[in-house]
Amino acid sequence: MSRSTANILDRPLGGRGARSEGSVSTSAFAYLYSELVQYHQSRVASISELERRLESSGYGVGLKVLELLAYRAREYKRETRLMNILQFVSSAVWKSLFGKAADSLERSIDHADEFMIVDYEPITSMYVSVPSDLGQLSVDAYLSGIIAGVLDGAGFTARVTAHSVTLEEHEVSANNAPNTNMGGSGSVNNNLPPRKDKAVFLVKFAPEVLERDATLDR
């Protein structure tokens, strides 16, 4: 097996005009992720600790994705506004990691500092079934770690948590129609029973972030 041993500082980074940045098969990811979850599962004593470990595994990914995507965009710009960084996460980051933008970005009515990013088919939980004794566990905590990493790196400290929310009637039929386009994840015929829930990532920003963003409005 020949592999180039060029220093990382010499390897190309991709960007405008580069050849396709490469993608990884869903099954490779699913295997690796399942091992990651099992590794942590055998070392923790509680559900929240497991979720915390998954979050910190994803955090580093978020930081790197932030720098890489900003660089590849070649615009030498950074996000300074709250809505813009959220748009960046739900479209650019999602597209780069999963092949399609997040299904929706919503703002909480009750709390001014809370936002929700919704994904109907997050790959981290596609091949995972949670037994009832693990109750509220969401293995998508890895993805909330990624989101938190991107936001934190950009200066928008936030607490991000993953929740599995049962699909409502109209959502179930819309997403499980036979020829639904699954975008970059590719596998339309995965022979799995249709999902009954969606992943909602709740993003709660620190108060200083909202204050700062409010002063920039003036």
Partner 1 sequence: VTLSPTMASSQLLLFVIVGKNEPLYEAEFHKMGGTSSGTSDSVTRQNYFVLHSALDLVDKASWTTNNMYLKVVDKINHQQVSTFLTAGNIKFMLLHGGKTEDSIKNFFNEVYELYVKLSMNPFYKYDTPITSKFFDTRVRAVARRYLS
Q: Tokens 């997040």: give the residue.
A: 102
- Residue 145 and residue 57 in contact, taking contact as beta carbons nearer than 8 Å: yes
Eight-class DSSP state of 18: P
Burial class of residue 1, CB neighbours in 10 A (0-12, 13-18, 19+) = exposed
Q: What is the dihedral of CA 97, 164, 53, 41, to 10 degrees?
A: -110
Nearer to partner 1, 30 or 68 (CB): 68
Nearer to partner 1, 61 or 118 (CB): 61
Nearer to partner 1, 19 or 170 (CB): 19
Cβ 3 to partner 1 shortest distance, Å: 16
Cβ 66 to partner 1 shortest distance, Å: 5
Among 11, 16, 170, 218, binds partner 1 (CB under 8 A): 11
Among 68, 97, 118, 126, binds partner 1 (CB under 8 A): 68
166 forms beta bridges with 197
70 binds partner 1 (CB under 8 A): yes
209 binds partner 1 (CB under 8 A): no
Cβ 11 to partner 1 shortest distance, Å: 7
39 binds partner 1 (CB under 8 A): no
146: which residues sit within 8 A by CB, 6+ positions away?
58, 59, 61, 62, 65, 93, 97
Pair of tokens at residue 130: 């949670």
Nearest Cα to 202, choosing from 139, 101, 85, 117? Answer: 117
- Residue 100 and residue 184 in contact, taking contact as beta carbons nearer than 8 Å: yes
67 binds partner 1 (CB under 8 A): yes
- Residue 155 and residue 66 in contact, taking contact as beta carbons nearer than 8 Å: no
Cβ 206 to partner 1 shortest distance, Å: 14
Kindly write out the interface string for residues 139-178 of this chain, putting x where it contacts partner 1 by CB under 8 A and - elsewhere: --------------xxx-----------------------
Among 43, 78, 111, 196, binds partner 1 (CB under 8 A): 78
Cβ 64 to partner 1 shortest distance, Å: 6
Residues of this chain that interact with partner 1 (CB under 8 A) are 7-9, 11, 13, 60, 63-64, 66-71, 76-81, 153-155, 212, 216
